[in-house]
Amino acid sequence: MTVRKTYKLYIGGAFPRSESGRVYPVTSSSGDLLAQAAQASRKDVRDAVVAARGAFAGWSGATAYNRGQVIYRIAEMLEGRRDQFAAEVAAAEGLGTAAAEGIVDASVDRLVWYAGWTDKYAQITGGANPVSGPYINYSVPEPSGVIGVLAPQQSSLLGLISVVAPVIAMGNTCVVVSSFARPLPAISLAEALGTSDLPGGVVNVLSGSAAELAPWLAAHRDVNGIDITGAAPEGRANLLRSASDTVKRTYSPAGGRADGPGEEDWATEPALRRMAAFVETKTVWHPLGI
């Protein structure tokens, strides 16, 4: 007899069931039952936002070098569980072993890529500004705060990491809604995060329906930004409308249009755009004098 895993949520560094008690069946691409995953509710979203807000001061205040090492550590954990993730990706996405292993390898590479950005982004986007007067003036990028992230529905691991890593690399904390049909790699990733020195609450993972949960994230007054990558195209505009009530920063495929193309190709090297979406530029002035 094998010991089967219970797939739960990841909130504030702990693995609770949904407070709603709901679960939903997750099947492989061929229709076999894989697990009963927790189905997160509105209340779980609120709890996760509280956890993310609580973790923000510590994570945004950590040195960039430290954040880089932690994200690199996530890559190490992923590499160590390569076979497990490959099997879960293969089952979720209907891929052969070699293809699934390629996805895991690319996911590791993506984490390593973003780990290196933590202490370089400020140098390429910030700096001294030559103002016309006796002042020292500099600009630095800072994280926007708590970000809601709707992970892509198709790419269950590489896509997920590609949307989460830039957000936390910049010092934000986040509440992630996983793919609805393919949530198991996300929950296993949460387990890797839990052993990666990532402080609890920096990433919170909710398995469940983006259509149900996203409106609460988009309207939440203590969420500073939302990435709606995983929203259904016809739902994008409503989420962006809701986000306007608190002037949220938004990242949306196709600029939020419903007629945009489908899910992006996660294999290509990302641009800076996903990091730029959730940073603020702070400019500090001080006079020169004796």
Which residues are near another protein by CB under 8 A? 124-125, 129-133, 135, 137, 139, 144-145, 224, 236-241, 243-247, 249, 254-258, 260, 271, 276, 280-287
Report, in Å, the least distance between residue 119 CB and another protein: 16
Report, in Å, the least distance between residue 120 CB and another protein: 12
Report, in Å, the least distance between residue 230 CB and another protein: 16
Whichever of 3 and 271 has its CB closer to another protein, that residue is 271
Report, in Å, the least distance between residue 13 CB and another protein: 24
Report, in Å, the least distance between residue 53 CB and another protein: 13
Whichever of 100 and 277 has its CB closer to another protein, that residue is 277
Report, in Å, the least distance between residue 125 CB and another protein: 7
CA dist 146 and 45 (Å) reads 12
Bridge partners (DSSP) of residue 249 are 225
Least Cα distance to 231 among 219, 207, 214, 245 occurs for: 214
Report, in Å, the least distance between residue 171 CB and another protein: 12
Whichever of 151 and 240 has its CB closer to another protein, that residue is 240
Whichever of 211 and 276 has its CB closer to another protein, that residue is 276
Whichever of 4 and 273 has its CB closer to another protein, that residue is 273
Whichever of 21 and 287 has its CB closer to another protein, that residue is 287
Whichever of 6 and 65 has its CB closer to another protein, that residue is 65
Report, in Å, the least distance between residue 240 CB and another protein: 3
DSSP readout, the chain? Answer: ---PPP---BBTTB-PPPTT--EEEEE-TTS-EEEEEE---HHHHHHHHHHHHHHHHHHHHS-HHHHHHHHHHHHHHHHHTHHHHHHHHHHHHT--HHHHHHHHHHHHHHHHHHHHHTTTHHHHH-EE---SSSEEEEEEEEE-SEEEEE--SS-TTHHHHHHHHHHHHTT-EEEEEPPSSS-HHHHHHHHHHHTTTPPTTSEEEE-S-HHHHHHHHHH-TT--EEE-TTS-GGGHHHHHHHHHTTT-EEE-GGGG-TTS-SS--TTSPP-SHHHHTTEEEEEEEEE---
Whichever of 139 and 154 has its CB closer to another protein, that residue is 139
Q: How would you classify residue 145: left for phi > 0, otherwise alpha for psi between -120 and 50, otherwise beta?
A: left
Between strands 135-143 and 127-128, the pairing is antiparallel
